[in-house]
Chain A
Amino acid sequence: MRMKTGADTFHVATTLHGAVAALADRGHAGAPLAGATWIMRAPLRGGPQQDRSYVALSRIDELRRVEIGERDITIGACVTHAALASALAHIDGCAALVQAAASSANPAVRQVATIGGNLCAWDFASADLVPALICLAANVELTSPDGVERISMERFLARRSELAPGTLLSRIVVARTACGSAHVRLPLRRSGDYPVAIVSLAVKLGQNSTVLTARAAVGSVEVVARRWETLEAGLVGRPLDPQAAAALAGRCLDDFVARDGVEAAGWYRLAVLPSLVRRAAQALLPHS
């Protein structure tokens, strides 16, 4: 179905392959449209006008599914934050992703905004799902006319602003592991605004809560979320202790070059990280 827009056409795709073909056909003039929340607000923040030839993805059923298998969880790119939080609410190990999906923005935005949109908004430093998926070691699937490619989150983040026309983020794959996970964020209000800083943490605990494996990610502090490997290394091999984890985080703040923004200065984003690490560690203790 094609509809007129101010500048070009608006194509509603109903299959993944149809969407990929439509995007490839439009070349650099085309753009995918999922929940549209980021695209619609962009002009107010100095971003691009809505002058692309959009291919709407929200009617593609296969991109709206969450498939929970024994070994992994596959999430379609058009699954909304609300649907994601609901689908994974009782799945072991997914707490970080559930907390990220359930706490970002506000209820009405979560009904519309999608996981694919959150990951593809390359100029959105505060995207909640990005650090959550990094800590869960997620992979993403890109579908193009040439086929399907599966890459790590980190590689996707490095490539996402330069995807070739017709290349579409189609699915996110999270392996099911024995790790527990937590996602802690600091917005200035309790909800609704962008978080100053985000810590996502996944750990596997052994006897006496000794950390066997750890994977940490920080969002909103730098322009793009990324792992906090120094923190991970310091956590492994010791009992998980929230106060000690916070102290460790405080010694590792030089790992980041924090960005200044209207909602918070860079120094403040760094200053709150130890507290967020402490809260994440607390949430992962067995009695929590």
Chain B
Amino acid sequence: MALLLTVNGEDRTSGHGAMTPLVDVLRDEFHLKGAKPVCREGFCGACTVLLDDHPVMACLLPAGLAVGARIRTVESLAPDGALSPLQQVMEEHDVVQCGMCFPGMLMSLSGFLAVTPRPTRDEVKAALSGNVCRCTGYERIIDAVLSL
């Protein structure tokens, strides 16, 4: 049986098996390359997507468990090319670097800010604790979030 998935508001059909990691379905079948399979152990956060508005690690989620849920990837943040407010402040604070971890950070923060619109610095740090970056300092990313 094919997997019926709702990705960025569209109904999509996957021919992959139910135990295939969602990140592989998104990238290899739906060509949504924003989520990155890096550690595949849930440590780095580069594959973070939203599942029913909650950030989850797409490397650890069998696609079969995503059936019936709303999946959002980083591509949904700027569907018409106009950056989301979160993306805009990241650009304004010049915190975008190699792009490996950044889609995951944006998705973690999108889910977090939807329920915590006025966070403290410590809350932002906690929200990003599952997103690892080897390029940049985290402090400017946090500064950008707090400027929203």
Residues of A with Cβ closer than 8 Å to B?
1-6, 10, 12, 33, 36-37, 40-41, 44-45, 50, 54, 56, 58, 82, 105-109, 111-112, 190-193
Contacts and interface: CB of A to CB of B under 8 A. Distances in A.
B34 interface: no
B60 to A, nearest CB: 4
A192 B127 CA distance: 11
Given A5-B18, A33-B65, A37-B42, 16 more contacts: A1-B1, A3-B1, A5-B19, A6-B17, A6-B19, A10-B17, A37-B57, A41-B40, A41-B42, A44-B41, A54-B19, A58-B65, A107-B108, A109-B42, A111-B55, A192-B129
Q: Is the interface of A mostly helix, strand, loop or mixed?
A: mixed
Given A44-B41, A56-B64, A58-B65, A107 B127 contact: yes
B18 A105 contact: no
Contacts of B3: 3
B19 A107 contact: no
A60 to B, nearest CB: 13
A108 B17 contact: no
B126 A107 contact: yes
A56 B66 CA distance: 11
Given A3-B18, A105-B130, A112-B61, A44 B40 contact: yes
Interface residues of B, number: 32
B60 A36 contact: yes
A82 B59 CA distance: 19
Interface string B63-83: 011010000000000000000
30 contacts: A3-B1, A3-B64, A6-B19, A10-B18, A36-B60, A36-B61, A37-B42, A37-B57, A37-B60, A40-B19, A40-B60, A41-B40, A50-B19, A82-B54, A105-B130, A106-B42, A106-B43, A106-B129, A107-B112, A107-B130, A108-B42, A108-B48, A108-B55, A108-B56, A111-B51, A111-B54, A111-B56, A112-B56, A112-B57, A192-B132
A190 B129 contact: yes
A6 B63 CA distance: 13
Contacts of A36: 60-62, 65
A189 to B, nearest CB: 8
B108 A108 contact: yes
B45 interface: yes
Interface string B107-148: 010001000000000000011011010000000000000000
Contacts of A2: 1
Given A3-B1, A37-B60, A40-B21, A56 B126 contact: no
B134 to A, nearest CB: 13
A41 B17 contact: no
A105 B54 CA distance: 16
B132 to A, nearest CB: 7
Instruction: Report, nearest first, the 6 A-B pairs whose CB atoms are least far apart.
Output: A106-B130, A10-B18, A191-B129, A3-B18, A5-B17, A111-B54
A45 B45 CA distance: 18
Contacts of A37: 42, 57, 60
Contacts of B129: 106-107, 190-192
Given A5-B18, A191-B130, A109 B108 contact: no
